[in-house]
């Protein structure tokens, strides 16, 4: 595909490095015994929705541990220390809005 652009002398309007990252991460082989993360964005009902998901998944997969964090305010990105804590300990993280 890129050859066509090159042949026509055309430039790309994207950051190719970022474009490469727009892929889903590989799926975990199993959730059994994993350390699960939950990121509550603090919108109304987000905590209730996530707690229900946590309980359903915990009953099914018996997580080794659960890490729960809440953002300070829903419209801003999560603080770096929250993301680092989740990335360090969890095999996967679930986040959602509740409204």
Partner 1 sequence: MQIDETIDAIELYYAQGWTDGLPVVPPTRAKVQAMVERSGRAAGEVVAELPPQGGKATVERIATNAVMAGCLPEYMPVILTALEAMLETRFNLRGVLCSTHVSTPLLIVNGPIVQALHVNSGHNVFGPGWRANATIGRAVQLALVNIGGAQPGVLDKATFGHPGKYTYCIAENEAASPWEPLHVERGFQPTDSTVTVYPAEAPHNINNHGSQNARDLLTVVADCLSILGSNHMYLGGECFLVFSPEHAATIAASGWRKQDVRAFLYEHARQPVRLLQVGGMYGTETHRNLWPRWVNRADLEALVPPVRRAEDLSILVAGGAGKHSVFLPGWGSRSVTRKIPI
Do residues 67 and 35 make contact, with C-beta atoms less than 8 angstroms apart? yes
Nearer Cβ to partner 1 (74/92): 74
Closest distance of CB 83 from partner 1, Å:
13
Question: Do 21 and 73 contact (CB within 8 A), yes or no?
Answer: no
Binding characters for partner 1, 50-79, by CB under 8 A (x = yes): -----------------------xxxxx--
Closer residue to partner 1 in complex, CB, 17/81: 17
**Rounded to the nearest 5°, which phi and psi values hold at 12?**
-95, 140
Nearer to partner 1, 4 or 30 (CB): 4
* Shortest separation between residue 70's beta carbon and partner 1, angstroms: 12
Torsion angle of C-alpha atoms 51, 56, 57, 58, degrees rounded to 10: 80
Neighbours of 90 (CB within 10 A): 20
Which residues in this chain contact partner 1 in the complex, by CB under 8 A? 1, 4-5, 8-15, 17-19, 21-22, 42-44, 73-77
């Amino acid at each position: 595909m890129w050859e066509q652009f090159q042949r026509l002398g055309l430039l790309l309007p994207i950051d190719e490095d970022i474009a490469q990252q727009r892929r889903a991460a590989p799926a975990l082989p199993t959730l059994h015994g994993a350390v699960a993360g939950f990121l509550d964005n603090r919108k109304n009902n987000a905590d209730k929705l996530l707690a229900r998901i946590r309980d359903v998944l915990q009953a099914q997969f018996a997580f080794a541990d659960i890490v729960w964090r809440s953002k300070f305010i829903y419209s801003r990105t999560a603080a770096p220390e929250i993301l680092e804590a989740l990335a360090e300990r969890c095999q996967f993280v679930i986040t959602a809005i509740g409204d």
